[in-house]
Amino acid sequence: MAVPDYQKFMLPILQIAGDRKEHGSGEVIDTVAGQFGLSEQDLSEMLPSGTQAKFPNRVVWAVTYLTKAGLLERTGRGKFRMTDRGLKVLNSGPSEIDAKFLKQFPEFLEFQKGTRSSKKEEEIEDEDAQRTPFETLEVAYQNLRQALAQDVLDRVKRCSPKFFERLVVDLLVAIGYGGSRKEAGQAVGRSGDDGNRMAFIFRRSL
């Protein structure tokens, strides 16, 4: 199964904290993973950047949201416990807790002001239901990288063979081949037919 969105973890986390004891993020991550029956493959699913696993990131963000709403309070690094407000909410028997539910608390609304831009409210709510703020930034970053890479590629393809010749030389120097730029230029026949031929081949490969 796919890793659920971070809001699905809010109620289970609040229930875990219902004993009013201090809990750690690592403990909660393991417990919630068991409750949702996540496989090793699910737990190894990465964020777009490939720098962090998606599941623990979403659990931590669920804890953050509950904390910003005043249902949990931090007791140390990576540790938290339930507040009186959190216990009241839990005792009310909610069927689920999500970002929309947390909007009843002014502290949470204040927190959201700092994580939102000028997007339409319905667009923001749709993002809330799918991605954490961190994931939204990750997706935006990857989209920008892809757009930039495509733009550079398009520009390079429009350049002359002579430019490709110089580009090949610069690439060789940048990755550590050919010694200096002058030596690398000589190695690929910078001002001869071999250089033009290499530039043509390189251009065709793009």
Q: Per-residue confidence of the chain (206 residues) as pLDDT tens digits?
A: 789 999 999 999 999 999 999 999 999 999 999 999 999 999 999 987 777 899 999 999 999 999 999 999 999 989 999 999 999 999 999 999 999 999 999 999 998 887 654 444 444 444 445 567 666 666 555 555 555 666 666 667 777 777 777 777 777 777 776 566 666 555 555 444 544 544 444 444 55
The CA distance from 5 to 24, in Å, is: 21
Q: Tell me, what amino acid is at 186? A: Q
Domains and CATH numbers, the chain: 6-131 (1.10.10), 159-205 (no CATH)
CB 81 within 8 Å of CB 23: yes
Q: What predicted TM-score, i.e. pTM, was given to this entire model?
A: 0.61
Q: What is the pLDDT of residue 181?
A: 62
Please give the pLDDT value at position 202: 47
